[in-house]
Amino acid sequence: MNYGMIGYVVPHALYPKGYHCKPADPLPFINLASQKNFIAVYHMGLYADPDLMKWFTHSFPKYSTQKLDLGKSCIRFKKADQIPYQLLGALAEKMTPKQWIELYEKQFRH
């Protein structure tokens, strides 16, 4: 659990510096949350990598007839049966924890 959500993080064993906002916490990577009005998937790579965001937004219509509801790193779904699981699986495969650490260091840790 991470910030009240199911959290897939980069553990301190791989990235000892932790999250810059709270170094005692591991570096967030992908989170899942059930909010009041939607189910949310957070992928920090979408926020940090414009090419990954472009790939995702262009790919989404191939997997879903729903309108994409997207924040900086948050993908929102009103119902569980609207979730394009294959696309989310492909998204998870697009960035390794090592790649996320490199991008994070370049963009957030100066």
Q: pLDDT digit string (tens) for 52-82?
A: 999 999 999 999 999 999 998 899 999 999 9
Q: Tell me if 9 is assigned to some domain.
A: no
Q: Is residue 93 part of a domain?
A: yes
Determine, yes or no, domain membership for 7: no
In a domain, 2, yes or no: no
How confident is the model at residue 1, as a pLDDT? Answer: 84
Examine the pLDDT at 110 and tell me if it is beyond 70: no
Assess contact for 15 and 44: CB atoms under 8 A: no
Give alpha helix (H) positions in the chain: 44-48, 50-63, 85-94, 97-108
Total domains in the chain come to 1
Q: Residue 39 pLDDT more than 90?
A: yes
Domain-located, residue 47? yes
Can you read off the two tokens belonging to residue 51? Answer: 């090419």
Q: pTM for this one?
A: 0.89
Q: Please give the structure tokens belonging to residue 81.
A: 């049966």
Residue 63 structural domain: 34-108
Q: How far apart are CA 37 and CA 28, in angstroms?
A: 23
